[in-house]
Amino acid sequence: MSGVPLYLLDDTQRYLKNAIFEEKLGVSAKFSDVINVLGEQQVAASRRWPRFGT
């Protein structure tokens, strides 16, 4: 798996407050909900993620 971008967020609340996004980006849930449930050392990934390596 190479060339896949990984974005690191220091503060998810600050990111949601300042970044421009649309809720539909979350596809299966609201984008803000996806980011909100992230904790330390956790990753939110596209549902296509498992297919990247194949």
Partner 1 sequence: MLLFLIVGLVLVLLISRRLVRYATTISPLEASRRVAVSETGQARARWRILEWLALLVGAYKIGGWIFDFQLSSYLTFHEDDGAWWTGIAPAVLAFDRALDFVALPLFVYGLVALLVAQPRLIGGLLGSVTYFVGGKLRSLSLKHMSLKPHRISSFLLIVGLMASVSLYPSIASKSFEDKAMRGATVQVGSELHISISSNDLVSAEQLDQGLGGQIQAMRTVVKNRLAAFQHGDVLSVDPLFEAILPGFSSLGMA
Candidate residues 12, 13, 16, 18; the one interacting with partner 1 per rule CB under 8 A: 18
In the list 13, 19, 36, 37, the residue contacting partner 1 (rule: CB under 8 A) is 19
* Residue nearer to partner 1 on the CB measure, 25 or 37: 25
Q: Any idea what the Cα angle at residue 53 is, between residues 29 and 4, rounded to 5°?
A: 65
Q: Minimum Å distance from CB 47 to partner 1?
A: 6
Q: Which long-range contacts (CB under 8 A, 24 or more apart) does 2-8 make?
A: 4/52, 6/43
In this structure, what token pair is assigned to residue 7?
């974005």
Q: Is 7 in the site for partner 1 (CB under 8 A)?
A: yes
